Amino acid sequence: MNVFKNVKKLDYLLLTSMILLMIAGWFIMYSASYQEHMSTGVDYAKKQFVWMMIALVIFFVIVCIDYHFLLNISFIIYGVILVLLFLVLVLGDKRFGARRWIGIGGFTLQPSELAKFGVILAVVKYLVWDIENRFKLKYIIICGIIVGIPSILIFKQPDLGTMLTFVPTICAMLFAAGMRWRYIIIAWALSIASAPFLWAHLRPYQKKRVFTFLYPEHDPFGSGYSVIQSKIAVGSGGILGKGWLGGTQNQLNFIPERHTDFIFSVVGEEWGFVGSLALVTLFFMVISAGFNIAHKAPDVSGKILALGITTIFGFQVSVNIGMTIGLLPVTGIPLPFISYGGTSLLATMAMMGLLQNIYMRRFMF
């Protein structure tokens, strides 16, 4: 399908929100990385702009390809993702104690971000293929295996935040497929029951993040430093903020990782409550559009796929903002469209393309 001949079929709420978030994200990221650019010469804003152009191409390509074709090759995509996840453990670049990045053809990719796209497609393909057995326990077990294999590889990197995004996403997809509530509750119960095992295998710095969330003031110059400085930045913005490039916490380098994990603190400081509310409203518009697309999807596979994408997007937004203002533990989950990161932007735009793809075909079946 040629998307340019079917512009009337696009979801303009989703398209407008997405474009505004991308534009706002670039300006926020420019400010967040300005001082580092001045001191090191690394131009994150320029790199992100290049990724934005590539992501837009990916978006339009996916819009033009029937999502049923992508579902048909989903396990090929899933297999490629597994290979990349394995290679990153063997050949990946190690940064900050984690091995999550791999260089391919002059680009640095983060396979765990791409896994969100690949795993969702594979799960939808299985759920629809075996939907007659949706009332049986094996339905959730096989689905858990599909998710579990990449989750183990992601956990080994370690990237706990990305692994956790699959939990609410898969539960929402199972619900959309018609799985009985009691089985979904069992899945949640098993997830909670596995917490002691998960805790025993966490790295020391990951355990420290949990303690920091509970008692950040106990180590204000160590593990609690980032959260404390982030909350100070958000609070100091007041109603209207200090203006673009005017945030003191940001420009004086008080906030670590402010162009990635803690970028919402820059929003709070420089744009204030009004700017933060506007950004959250745009996120809400994307999520609202996603649920609307799931409701109007032409078939079961489109419904499950749209709901899965919307859930994973909403979860990332909620967790990132929550950890920035001290309501949730620090997990390293990026803020979609806003945080610096090419692979994250590619995965997000690919999923937005799938949502538009589903919406454009709502009257074709």
pLDDT at 229 > cutoff 60: yes
More confident residue, 104 or 76: 76
Environment class of 288 (CB within 10 Å of its CB; exposed 0-12, middle 13-18, buried 19+)? middle
6 pLDDT tier (thresholds 50, 70, 90):
low
CA distance 319 to 128: 29
Rounded-to-10 torsion of CA 315, 320, 193, 309: 20
Position with higher pLDDT, 186 vs 71: 71
pLDDT tens digit sequence for 63-83: 988 899 999 999 999 999 999
Averaged pLDDT for residues 205-213: 59
CA 92, 96, 101 angle in degrees (round to 5)?
Answer: 25
Round to whole Å and give the CA distance between 360 and 73: 20
Between the alpha carbon of residue 271 and those of residues 253, 300, 307, the distances in Å are 18, 41, 31
For residue 93, list its beta bridge partners: 101
What's the token pair of residue 90? Answer: 């063997």
Mind listing the pLDDT tens digit for each residue in 236-288?
A: 888 888 888 888 887 777 777 788 888 999 999 999 999 999 999 999 999 99
DSSP 8-state class, residue 4: G
pTM, two decimals, is 0.87
Q: Which residues pair with 109 in a beta bridge?
A: 102
Decide: 187 and 307 in contact? Cβ < 8 Å.
Answer: no
Position 350 scores a pLDDT of 94
Q: Taken in order 73, 76, 82, 88, is the CA torsion positive or negative?
A: negative
Beta-carbon contacts of 93 under 8 Å, excluding residues fewer than 6 positions away, are 99, 101, 102, 103, 108
Tell me the pLDDT band of 43, cut-offs 50, 70 and 90. confident
pLDDT band at 3 (very low <50, low <70, confident <90, very high): very low
